[in-house]
Amino acid sequence: MSYQNAPDLNTGPQPGPKSPRRTGGATTDQDCCPPLLEHQLGVGDFLKIQSAFEPSDPCQAICMSREEFMQRMTETVGWGTKQEYGELFDKVDVAQDGFINWDKLTSFMLFTLYEKDERAKATVVPAWKDLEFLPVKHKDTIQKVIFLKSSSRYLTISKEGLLGVWGENLKLQETLPITSDATKLKHLWVTSLVSLENVNKIAVAFTSKEICFYDLLSKGEFPCQYKLQGLKGTPICMEYWYDPLDANKSVLSFGDITGKVQAIAFTTALISLFERPASAHEDEEAMVTLSWEELLSGYHKCCYTLQHNLHHGDWVRQVTYNASLDAIISSTTSNTNTMVLAWREKSKKHLKMTSFNVAEGIHAFDYHSQLNLIATAGINKKVCLWNPYVVSKPVGVLWGHSASVIAVQFFAARKQLFSFSKDKVLRLWDIQHQLSIQRIACPFPKSQDFRCVFHFDEAHGRLFISFNNQLALLAMKSEARRRAKSHKKAVTCILYNSVMKQVVSSDVGSTVSFWMIDTGQKIKQFTGCHGNAEISTMALDANETRLLTGSTDGTVKVWDFSGYCHHTLNVGQEGAVEISQILVLQKTILVMGWERAITVFRLQNFNQFFIQPEKWKGEIQHSDDILCAAFLPPQTLVTGSYDGEIVLWNNSTENAHCVLHPHYQRRLKSKSDTEPHKLFSAGRSLSTCPSPDQAALGAHSFETDTKGNNAVVRLCFLEARTNTSETGGANLVSCGGSGYVRFWDTFKKQLLAEFLAHGGAGSIIMSIDKSNQYLATGDLDGQLKIWNIEDYCLNSSKSKITEAPTLIRSFQPHEDQISSLEMCKPGGRLLIISCSADCSICMTDVCGASVWIFGQL
C-alpha cells in the first residue's frame, strides 16, 4: 500500500522543458492562442510559490516588486517565462502599488477561478431528452403547474377545477375536483393556483371573485378551510412567498381584471392565516367564510392588506412579491404602466410605485436577485432586461424571436434565461453576453389560439409547457461527463474525522483519500488498500485514531493515519463477501452484510496481526441477510435485515429479545421462556398467537419480501432524545427499500410513523445530525433531501403517523446513486457530505448553499 502527500496530487504533465503545456484537450484555435499562465498553475506550483513568500520572521510579510517576482518565480516554479510572470504581476497589482504579497496573489487567483467557473456554467448548453406529453386527465385549459417541496409532488389545475396530483417520478397519483359553491351553481372557472408551503395549504382563485384555501394534510379530498369572498374584480393571477427564516411572515399577492394589484401580508401564518369566529373553534374542520371588506377594515389582526390601482383597468397578467426588493411586481399587456413595482415603505403597510412603459406591452416577467435584473416577455417579439431602479430604458435587449414572446424564466444557477414565443419556439440565452445559445422548436399542434403555462423546475431540471389541456415535459439529460470528479472510480463510503477535521473517502478501486473539510483539497491518499478489491464500507474507532476498511475480498483492515495496517480481520474465511457495515463498540467489532449471523471480533484478542472471528452468543435470529446495525448506550443493539425485520439485542449478554417489522412484531424466546412466541401488529396492542407453522418460520413466511421492498439499509438511534423511555416517542429511525423512512419506539416496541421520502426511486440511505434536528436522505438517482425532524414523533401515538416531517431542501447533487451520507458540524455550521457512483464527493449545508465538489479546484 502507498500514499501520496499534497505536492504529489497534481499528477498531470507539468509545463516546462520536458513536457508540453497543459491544454486540457484544447482545439486548434486554442493552440494558436496559448492559455494564460494563471490557468495552468497546479497545486504543486502554488506550494512552491507559497514557499517563496514565507518569511523567516512570522510577524513580517514578504512583498515583491515586479522584477523580483519575475526572477524568483522563474527560478522557484521552474517553468514559464519572465514575461508571463510580469503579466501576472500586473493583473495582481491592480492598485499599482509596485509590489504584491501572498495575500494579494491568492485573492486574485480565487477571483479568477470564480470567474472562470461562472463563465463555464453560463456557456454550458443543456442537453434535453425528447419532448414528452404527460398523460393528463384535464378536459379544459391547464391554468397552473407547481411543485410542492414539502411532499415532493407536482400539482396541475385546469379551468374546470380538476386538480392533478403527481409524484416526483411524474406518475399521476390522483385527480380531485376543486370547486366552490358558486362554481357548482354558475359553472365558473378556476383562474389560478398557489402553494402555501409553510402552512401546507393551497389557494385557488375562481371567476366568482373568490379565493379558497384548502388543507393538504387531510386524507382523501382536500377540504376548504377558508373562503375569501367579495373581491371587487376577478383574480386571474396569484403568487405566494414566505420568509424561510420566519415562516410566520408571508405574502399572498394577486391581480384582477380591473387592473387592481392586491396583497395579503400574514404575520402569524403558522398559528392562523385569519381570525376564526368563536363558533368555528368548536369544529376545527368547519369552513370559515370571510369577506374582503373584513380584511380592509383590519378586523383580522394576524394579517393586513396592500393594494394599488396603477394599471387603470388593464388586466393584470402576472404578479409576484419579491423579498430582496421588498416590492410587489405586476404586469399587463398595455404599453403604459406595463410593469409596476410597488415598493413597501418602512411601515410595510404603504406602497410607493414605480412604473415601466414597454411598447405594445408584455405577457410575462421574471426577476433574478443575484443579477438584479427583470426579464420581460414582449408582445413586440423582444426580451428586455431591466434594472428595477432604472425605468427609462432596458439595460439589454435580446433579439431572435419571430413572434411575440409569451413566457420568460431564469435558469438562476447558470445565469441563463428561457423564453418561449407564440410560434412555439423555445430559446435559452446567455445573459452575460446577451446571446441565444439554444433554440428548440416544440412540436405542438398547429393552432394560433392557445393558452400556455410555462414552469421550469430547476432543482429537477424539468421544463413544463402546457398547450391548452395538454402538458409537455422537457427533461435535462445527465451532465455527469462535465462534472468534476473526486475519485477516478465510483465512491463507496465517506466518514468525517472530527479530531483531524478531515473527510475520508473510499472507492471501488481500493483507494482511500483524505480531504480538508474547509477547502475540499485532497491532502493524501492510500492506494491498493485491499489489492484491487472494492472497499465497500469504512468505520472509525471511538478515538478516531484508527480507520477500518471493509472489502469484498472478505477482510476488514485496521489502519492508522500514516498508512500502516495494524490488523487484518478475516471476515469471509478466505472467501469473497459483501460487507455492508462495520460497527465498532467498546469491546467488540461487529461486521455484517452477507449472511443472517453477526460476525464478531473481540478486542481482547487483538494481540496479533491476523484476527479470526468468534461466535456470537445470541446465534442466528434473522431470517434473511443482516444489512445494518446501530447501538444505543448502555447496551441496546439493533440489527436490520433484507426482509425488513429489526432485531433488538442486549449487547452485554448478546441475546435478542424482540423482532420489529412494519407489519408485525414478535417476541423472541429466551432460555428461561416456556411460552411460545407471541405475535403483535406493529404499532398496535397484543393480537392472536401465530399458528405453530408460523411460529416455526419465525413469523416470516407470510411476509415474504423477494424484492427487498422492506429491506432495512440504515439504522440510526436518536441519542439526543434522552428522555424517550419516560416520555415516549421515537428513538430509532430506519430506511431502505421502496424509499420509506420509519420512526420506532424501541421501549414500547412500536412503529410510530412512516412516510415515503423518495417515491419511485428504489432503496434509500440516510444520515442524522448529532442534535437529531435534521435527517438527510439520498436515493439511487442522486437526489438528496433534508428534513427537519426536531419535533417529529416526540410523543407516543395510538395510530401510525404517515405525514412527512418538514422538507427543508430537495436537490440533485449527483448524477448517479448516492452511496454514503455524513452530517458534521465543524465550526458550528451543519454540513451534509455525500458521495456517489458518479465518482464525486459533494458538500452543502442545510440552508441552501451551493453544492461544492471535493477536488474541483
Give the residues of the chain that fall short of pLDDT 50.
1-33, 183, 185, 480-481, 671-706
Same domain for 660 and 520: no
Report residue 524 as a C-alpha cell.
493524501
Same domain for 605 and 736: no
Same domain for 646 and 592: no
DSSP state of 37: G
Same domain for 583 and 672: no
- For 582, counting Cβ atoms within 10 Å of its Cβ (0-12 exposed, 13-18 middle, 19+ buried), the class is buried
Task: Tell me the CA distances in angstroms from 115 to 87, 111, 119, 281, 411, one per residue in order.
Answer: 18, 6, 6, 57, 18
Residue 144 included in any domain: no
- Among the candidates 333, 357, 381, a domain finishes at 357
pLDDT value of residue 94: 76
Task: Tell me the CA distances in angstroms from 856 to 13, 294, 832, 842, one per residue in order.
Answer: 18, 57, 17, 10
Give residue 541's domain range: 487-616
Same domain for 777 and 710: yes
- Among the candidates 616, 633, 651, a domain finishes at 616
With a CB cutoff of 8 Å and minimum separation 6, the contacts of 364 are 317, 318, 331, 376, 377, 405, 406, 407, 408, 454
Residue 296 included in any domain: yes
Same domain for 198 and 115: no
E strands, 719-789, where? 732-736, 740-745, 750-756, 765-768, 774-778, 784-788
Residue 456 included in any domain: no
What 830-836 contacts at long range (C-beta under 8 Å, 24+ apart), as own/partner pairs, is: 830/769, 830/774, 831/517, 832/767, 832/776, 832/784, 832/786, 833/494, 833/496, 833/503, 834/494, 834/776, 834/778, 834/784, 835/486, 835/491, 835/492, 835/493, 835/494, 835/505, 836/490, 836/491, 836/782
Report residue 557 as a C-alpha cell.
483492515
Tell me the CATH number at 247: 2.130.10.10
Same domain for 625 and 656: yes
Residue 133 included in any domain: no
Of 487, 522, 539, whose CA–CA distance to 508 is shortest? 487
Same domain for 334 and 295: yes
Same domain for 671 and 641: yes
Contact 354, 340 (CB under 8 A): yes
Same domain for 223 and 202: yes
Contact 765, 821 (CB under 8 A): yes
Report residue 764 as a C-alpha cell.
434509500
pLDDT in tens, 176-192: 998 755 545 456 799 99
Of 320, 317, 339, 338, whose CA–CA distance to 328 is shortest? 320
Residue 502 included in any domain: yes
Same domain for 633 and 611: no
Strand-pairing partners, residue 97, are none
Please tell me the distance from the alpha carbon of residue 802 to that of residue 734, in angstroms, as a whole number. 15
Domain count for the chain, please give it: 4
Residue 375 included in any domain: no
DSSP state of 575: S
- Among the candidates 123, 156, 186, a domain finishes at 123
Same domain for 627 and 567: no
Strand-pairing partners, residue 737, are none
Residue 220 included in any domain: yes
Report residue 292 as a C-alpha cell.
374582503
Residue 430 included in any domain: no
Task: Tell me the CA distances in angstroms from 799 to 39, 538, 795, 838, one per residue in order.
Answer: 61, 38, 12, 41
